[in-house]
Structure 1
C-alpha cells in the first residue's frame, strides 16, 4: 500500500514540518473511548470480586 502511494507521488516528504491530520484525531478518539469502556469494565469486575460469594459468610461463624 505504501509502495503504491510513493509510486504515485514521487515528491519527497518534508518530515520536519509534518503535522497530524484529522485521521490521527479520529484514531486517538477511538482509543480514548475504548479506554473508557475498559476502565468501566475493570471497575465493575473489581467491585464484584470484593463481594463475598453466595454462602461464604454463613460457614465462618460455626
Structure 2
C-alpha cells in the first residue's frame, strides 16, 4: 500500500497545478513503484493544486 511519503516523494517531476494524467506521467518518470501508480490511477479526473492535495485525494495521510 502506498504511503503519504511514497506518493509525495514520486511527484517531483510534476508541475502543479496538474491533471490526473500529468500526475501519473510524472510519477512514472520519477520511478514510482506499482502501488503508488495504482493509487494515482484511482484519483478522480480533476486538476490538483499540489502534491498534498493529490495525497489526500489518494487517501493517504502523513505519518
TM-score by length of 2: 0.19
Tell me which structure has the larger Cα radius of gyration.
Answer: 1
Compare the two structures and name the one with the higher helix fraction: 1
Higher relative contact order (CA 8 A, sep 6+): 2
TM-score by length of 1: 0.20
